[in-house]
Chains A and B, each alone.
Chain A
Amino acid sequence: MLSRPATFAMLAPVLLVLILLLVLPVGYLISFSVLARGTGPQTLGAFTMANYGRLFGDTYYLALFGRTLWLSALTTAIAALAGTCFAWFMWQSGRRWRGPLTILILSPLLISIVVTSYGWVVLLGRNGAINTALEALGLISAPLRLIHNDFGIVVGLVHVVIPFMVLCVLAALERIEAVLGEAAMTLGAQPWRVLWHVILPLAMPGVAAGTTIVFCLSLSAYVTPAVLGGSGPNFVTTMIYDLFITQYDWPFGAAVAAVLLATALAIVILYQRLLARLGAEA
């Protein structure tokens, strides 16, 4: 074991870096949110809570937050279903297939989101592979609108987050002893009842962990709504970008960022609580 001073000496540089690059800058950014907008661009005025008043008082912004939460929830639900199935499949597949399947399911994480977003445009765009194929088959007469709308956002987001869901569920499944399922079968349970009464309840902690992480990631995504979403601010993150880059409204942008950060951290803290409780039970 390390002595206290040695431990502290080893942690000091990291803590310094995190404080200098994360805590103080984020705090500084958020401090803008309680200032009025100044007379010129990028100038700041006096203390005010008006930015938060505007955010929570205007149905436009509330609706945008609502949209973001709704699309993230939809993404999470789809990812939970698909991810749980895939994790279950991985769990049952043999050892030889684990490596290739792992790389396959993690590929959205390993390959730049710019690449995959571009791929969705090529595949789902107005003149993309899907529309071309459907038209050639005579199934549609005009191209379907598959991107630059909410459908595009959800497709892109599910793709980005599915690796995390699979990893969480797989980790939970791997804590289950295969013998449990066999034991249930010797007790006369049919396979689907084994799934329902034994496997799913035990996988639930993983699904719960996965949903929280995935929801948090969806909320914070920028590239997917920017590339695959409709024009104009369509997500909280793209609105923040717009406020800072196009409108130069730093104080209001900072308020929106603060609320986004608070939401993300609240989810993570709830998740940690949940993990602690599940851990205490197990």
Chain B
Amino acid sequence: MNAIKRQVEVFMDHKYLFYLLTMRDVKKKYKNSYLGILWSLLSPLLDMIILSIVFSSLLSRNVDNYPVYLLTGRLLFQFYTSGSTIAMQSIVAAAPLIRKIYIPKYILVLSKLCSNYIFFLISLIDLGLIMLVTGHNITWNILWGIPYMILIFIFTVGIGMALSAFAVYFRDTEHIYKVFTNALYFASAIIYPPEIVPQKYQFMLQFNPVFHFLQGFRRVTYYGLAPDTTNLLLCLAISLVSLILGVTYFKKKQDGFILYL
């Protein structure tokens, strides 16, 4: 109990730093660019246009309103990959600081994830826009998307913490992880509906945790249905396990960072 109280105190002491670090990344992204914040809106849209041209006629029998289908998966997935990737690099990148002064190290990881989450929230404007433009049937169930957005954040925090600690000891983690996320992209049913995957390969989707978040989110947003309780509980379980494992691993390793940075 006392340990928790101390943790909270330490965080409160560094609350302002946490805020500044998060805003630093947000500001940095839009500095030196004429379009500024528009980029966060433009890049998923351009991506969507290209993929829609390529795939919508191909998949028109399985998916109607392909652009919305694509975005409901892609935006969440994009948060997961860019969030976990940037979190992975956060400790190594802050080496000069860590070598000199004590700051709670998880703040460095968490601020990266938060700034990335802000980009994600901004990119959701695209989804709303495309839904309106294409006259997509929007129901109140779309609000169930919020729990999924929270859960994938928790999930990504866990993964990001673990990866950031691991990357201190093995610097090439970054390259390996990039290959991994590429593969994950195609195993998450983002550009195609999961039904077209043959039965014998379905396990690749089922064993992919990110897939379940996308499915749940899509059900309440794209299909406008009430959430599937099993799926929601599964996502809750996955994110909690990820958080607990990630934080435990990070805590165990953090005192050794300084020796490897």
Partners in one complex: no
Query: Could you tell me which A residues sit within 8 Å of B by CB distance?
Result: none
Query: Could you tell me which B residues sit within 8 Å of A by CB distance?
Result: none
